[in-house]
Amino acid sequence: MTRHFLRDDDLTPAEQAEVLDLAARLKADRFAARPLDGPQTVAVVFDKTSTRTRVSFAVGIADLGGVPLIISSNESQLGGKESIADTARVLERMVAAVVWRTFAQSGLEEMAEGTTVPVVNALSDDFHPCQLLADLQTIREHRGELVGLTVAFLGDGASNMAHSYLLAGTTAGMHVRIGAPESSAPRADVVADAERIAAATGGSVLVTTDPAAAAAGADVIVTDTFVSMGQEGEKAERLARYDGFIVDAALMAHAADDAIFLHCLPAYRGVEVAADVIDGPQSVVWDEAENRLHAQKALLAWLLERKDA
């Protein structure tokens, strides 16, 4: 049966580990998997801007033997002019998979329901699951096993990144802490899903408004922009809301001595993270950015293997 990757918990713990193992193999041997040889084409559609996602999918699809077709939705019929359902039916006649960066999670669900090819969420307002595969690969590289590690995500707890940390982190058996102002608390249903996953994997979930408590003893510290794509109109109000949540040396001092720092990028130095942290010795953000390539190649290869004939 065709599998899609719309949210982090679309992969079971065993499947997530399989994808991460394959990502490590593909990092060591870049052309080891060629599921798109032919070549077959993968559509990569953007409703929002991107550097990393665009480049890593384009390069990754080529590495897998395929051809990337990068589509900006404002230059296509998608986005009000043609329905998602009709687009899904057209794309499946020509491409091996659809990768889509968009706003509403419901659009991704509609695309997946309407097509026989795998659909991959390349970031929505609610989740950024491809980023999390890269983040988990990075954490594994620097800290060994994921099970039992404590990760603290600080800042916008209602963001796609925080939600993805809740689901992907608990799937990996990690203790996931979200430190966010009350007005940016994670969605209750996502917290509930993460708690359910954690009960099975040995992980746990903690949501707090105290950034120092979230960071205390953590193995991994993560933050992201306080103003996500689509929220630009709320910039002034949002920046005021996160007073005290900047990840600086003082906040890092609450974490474990050997803690690593991650940020999905793009980063705003002096806003959500201090320059001496993101550019300092604990930061692994460049490995994290590179791992988008390896993790997404592994994901695509894994999904294509399971696609309906």
| 9 vs 135, beta carbon nearer ligand CP | 135
Q: Determine whether 294 is an active site residue.
A: no
Residue 121 touches ligand NVA, criterion: CB under 6 A = no
Report yes or no: 193 and 9 within 8 Å, Cβ to Cβ: yes
Q: Determine whether 292 is an active site residue.
A: yes
Residues 53-82 that bind ligand CP (CB under 6 A): 53
Strand ranges (E), 19-125:
41-46, 67-72, 97-101, 119-121
- Minimum Å distance from CB 72 to ligand CP? 13
Catalytic residue among 140, 264, 282, 294: 264
The listed partner (ligand NVA, ligand CP, none) that binds 51, CB under 5 to 8 Å by sort, is: ligand CP
Q: Determine whether 254 is an active site residue.
A: no
Catalytic residue among 16, 131, 137, 282: 131
Torsion of CA 276, 282, 287, 289, to 10 degrees: -50
- DSSP letter for each residue of 145-197: --TT-EEEEES-TTSHHHHHIIIIIHHTT-EEEEE--GGGPPPHHHHHHHHHH
Q: Determine whether 264 is an active site residue.
A: yes
Q: Determine whether 257 is an active site residue.
A: no
Residues 107-136 that bind ligand CP (CB under 6 A): 123, 131
Residue 160 touches ligand NVA, criterion: CB under 6 A = yes
Dist CA 251 CA 92 (whole Å): 48
Binding site residues, as ranges?
A: 50-53, 77, 101, 128-131, 160, 224, 228-229, 264-265, 292
Identify which range of 77-85, 153-161, 186-194, 282-290 contacts ligand NVA by CB under 6 A.
153-161
Handedness of CA 121, 122, 124, 129 (dihedral sign): positive
Q: Determine whether 101 is an active site residue.
A: yes
Q: What is the DSSP letter of 98?
A: E
> Which residue in 103, 53, 106, 108 sits closest to 231, CA to CA?
103
- Minimum Å distance from CB 142 to ligand NVA? 21
Catalytic residue among 54, 128, 175, 177: 128
The Cα-based distances of 177 to 41, 168, 184 in angstroms read 39, 12, 14
Residues 211-270 that bind ligand NVA (CB under 6 A): 224-225, 228-229, 264
Number of other CB atoms surrounding residue 85 within 10 Å: 12
Binding site residues for carbamoyl phosphate, as ranges?
A: 50-53, 77, 101, 128-131, 264-265, 292
Residue 286 touches ligand CP, criterion: CB under 6 A = no
Q: Which of 265, 268, 271, 307 binds ligand CP (CB under 6 A)?
A: 265
Residue linked to tokens 């949501």: 207
- Minimum Å distance from CB 56 to ligand CP? 8
Number of residues forming the site for ligand NVA (CB under 6 A): 10
Token pair in block for residue 218: 């953590």
Residue 124 touches ligand NVA, criterion: CB under 6 A = no
Q: Which residues pair with 152 in a beta bridge?
A: 177, 221
Binding site residues for L-ornithine, as ranges?
A: 160, 224, 228-229
CA atoms within 13 A of residue 297's CA, in its CB half-sphere = 33
Residue 264 touches ligand CP, criterion: CB under 6 A = yes
- Minimum Å distance from CB 236 to ligand CP? 22
Token pair in block for residue 167: 């689901």
Handedness of CA 274, 278, 283, 285 (dihedral sign): positive
Amino acid at the residue 249: A
Active site residues per annotation: 101, 128, 131, 224, 264, 292
Binding site for ligand CP (CB under 6 A): 50-53, 123, 131, 264-265
